[in-house]
Structure 1
Amino acid sequence: MLEVEGLIKKYGNQYAVNGINFSLEGGEVVGLLGPNGAGKSTTMKCIVGLLRKTAGEIRIGGHDHLSVEAKKLFSYIPETPHVYDLLTVQEHLQFIAQAYSVSDWKQKAEHWMEMYELIDKKDKLGRDLSKGMRQKVSICCALLPDPKVLFFDEPMIGLDPKAIKNTKRIFRELKEQGKTILVSTHLIDSVESIADRIMIMKDGNIIGNDTLSNLKASFNQENDASLEDLFLELTKDE
């Protein structure tokens, strides 16, 4: 569903992403981990077209990532959720439904608003929402068109414990439906239980890309070592 080949993003002479290659299959949840400045958000923004890549090829569902065909296949939830000040919560969902030609959108919107406890906030304007509420609206808008690929950049930041639990459950349900999910996060424990595969970035490079058990075996980590232990070992300064 996603193919990234030789992706480079440079700022002047500085490589933010240094020629990385990876692919994601349908029905797969992949955790993208790395310290600050590793290139996680830059990679994701290049994939979804918010940043112009310096070099490389990116295909989503076999289509160039900047094509309309590709854009119909994915949803992106940014680290900092952006909402329209003068649209209500429900109007945000209506806007997305009309943009993606979602049928029976009211019923689907109600389902997601109920999941994230937004029913009683549906007439509240975007400018009056807390960061956590904005994050919930952003997630609901991303889920409404039923995309085949979802890109989550720090999805758990600002969410309350119940919303985090619901989001993890939704990830599992989407995976069972054959959806592809890429989750970039600092909260290592939030992906350890749901990710099929872990990609670890450092200094613009992918230094690990495998299942957790295989990564532990590759780097001589004990079986009882946590993902956090492995992450700290791989990303420590030499």
Structure 2
Amino acid sequence: MLQVKNLIKKYGKHLAVDDVSFSLDGGEVVGLLGPNGAGKSTTMKCIVGLLRKTSGEITIGGHDHLSVEAKRFFSYIPETPYVYDLLTVREHLQFIAQAYGVTDWKEKGEQLLDTYDLIDKADKLGRDLSKGMRQKVSICCALLPDPKVLFFDEPMIGLDPKAIKNTKRIFANLKEAGKTILVSTHLIDSVETIADRIMIMKDGKILGNDTIANLKRQFVSPENESLEDIFLELTKDARD
């Protein structure tokens, strides 16, 4: 569903993403872990087309990632949620429904608002929402068109415990429905229980790419017993 081949992103002489290659299949939840500055968000922004890659190939659903066909396949939830100041919460859903040609959106939209405790905020303007509520609106808008691939960049930051629990449950439901999910984060516990596979980034490179069980078999020692221990060992010299 997603193919990334030899992705390179440079900022001047700085190599932010260094020849990264990986693929994601349908029905798979993959966690992209790394400390701040590892290249996680840059990689994801290159995939969704918000940053122009220096070189490499990216396809989504067999289409070039910048094509209209590819954009129909995915939704992207950024680390910093953006909402329109003068649209209400419900109008955000209506806007997304119209943009993606979703005709029967109202029932699903209400279900999403209910899941994230936004029913009583449905008529609030975007400019009046807290960061946490903006994050919830962003997730609702991403889920509404029923995309085949979802990219979450630090999705749990700013969410309350109930919203985090519901988001993890939604991940499980999406996986069962055959959706593909890439979650970028530096919060290990936010993906450890839901990810089929973990990719660990350091200084623009992917150092580990395997199931949690296999990573533990490869790297576990008396000092490294948990995924957190493995993560810290692989990234111990990474810049914050």
Q: TM-score range by the shorter chain?
A: over 0.9
**Number of the residue aligned with 1:88:** 88
Aligned-pair RMSD on alpha carbons? 1.3
Quote the Cα distance in structure 1 between the aligned partners of 2:221 and 2:75: 35
CA deviations 1:115-154 (Å, max 9, x no partner) are 1010110000000000000000000000000000000000
User: What SS does the corresponding residue of 2:19 show, helix, strand or coil?
Assistant: strand
**Percent identical residues:** 81
User: What SS does the corresponding residue of 1:23 show, helix, strand or coil?
Assistant: strand
Query: Is structure 2 residue 228 aligned with structure 1 residue 231?
Result: no
Asked if the contact 1:216–1:223 (Cα under 8 Å) also holds between the matched residues in 2, the reply is no
**Number of the residue aligned with 2:184:** 184
**Number of the residue aligned with 1:44:** 44
* Equivalent residue letter for 2:141: C
User: What SS does the corresponding residue of 1:192 show, helix, strand or coil?
Assistant: coil
1:151-162 to structure 2, matched below 5 A, reads 151-162=151-162
Asked if the contact 2:17–2:203 (Cα under 8 Å) also holds between the matched residues in 1, the reply is yes
**Number of the residue aligned with 1:164:** 164
Quote the Cα distance in structure 1 between the aligned partners of 2:221 and 2:142: 37
1:56-135 to structure 2, matched below 5 A, reads 56-135=56-135
Asked if the contact 2:224–2:230 (Cα under 8 Å) also holds between the matched residues in 1, the reply is no
* Equivalent residue letter for 1:207: L
Quote the Cα distance in structure 2 between the aligned partners of 1:59 and 1:109: 29
Superposition deviation, residue 226 in structure 1? 1.7
Quote the Cα distance in structure 1 between the aligned partners of 2:131 and 2:76: 17
Q: TM-score, normalised by structure 2?
A: 0.97
Query: Is structure 2 residue 213 aligned with structure 1 residue 200?
Result: no
Query: Is structure 2 residue 212 aligned with structure 1 residue 212?
Result: yes
Quote the Cα distance in structure 2 between the aligned partners of 1:78 and 1:115: 20
User: What SS does the corresponding residue of 1:99 show, helix, strand or coil?
Assistant: helix
Superposition deviation, residue 223 in structure 1? 11
Asked if the contact 1:31–1:182 (Cα under 8 Å) also holds between the matched residues in 2, the reply is yes
Alpha-carbon distance change, 126 to 66 in structure 1, aligned in 2, over 3 angstroms: same
* Equivalent residue letter for 2:178: G
Alpha-carbon distance change, 233 to 223 in structure 1, aligned in 2, over 3 angstroms: closer
Quote the Cα distance in structure 2 between the aligned partners of 1:229 and 1:156: 21
Alpha-carbon distance change, 200 to 83 in structure 1, aligned in 2, over 3 angstroms: same
User: What SS does the corresponding residue of 2:191 show, helix, strand or coil?
Assistant: helix
Superposition deviation, residue 21 in structure 1? 0.4
**Number of the residue aligned with 1:2:** 2
User: What residue ranges of structure 1 are gaps of 5+ in the alignment?
Assistant: none
* Equivalent residue letter for 2:200: I
User: What SS does the corresponding residue of 1:3 show, helix, strand or coil?
Assistant: strand
* Equivalent residue letter for 2:227: L
Superposition deviation, residue 187 in structure 1? 1.1
Superposition deviation, residue 103 in structure 1? 2.1
Aligned structure 1 segments of 4 or more residues deviating by more than 6 angstroms:
none
Quote the Cα distance in structure 2 between the aligned partners of 1:94 and 1:227: 41
**Number of the residue aligned with 2:13:** 13
The number of residues matched between the two structures is 238
Query: Is structure 2 residue 26 aligned with structure 1 residue 26?
Result: yes
User: What residue ranges of structure 2 are gaps of 5+ in the alignment?
Assistant: none
* Equivalent residue letter for 2:215: L
Q: TM-score, normalised by structure 1?
A: 0.98
Asked if the contact 1:32–1:185 (Cα under 8 Å) also holds between the matched residues in 2, the reply is yes
Quote the Cα distance in structure 2 between the aligned partners of 1:36 and 1:43: 13
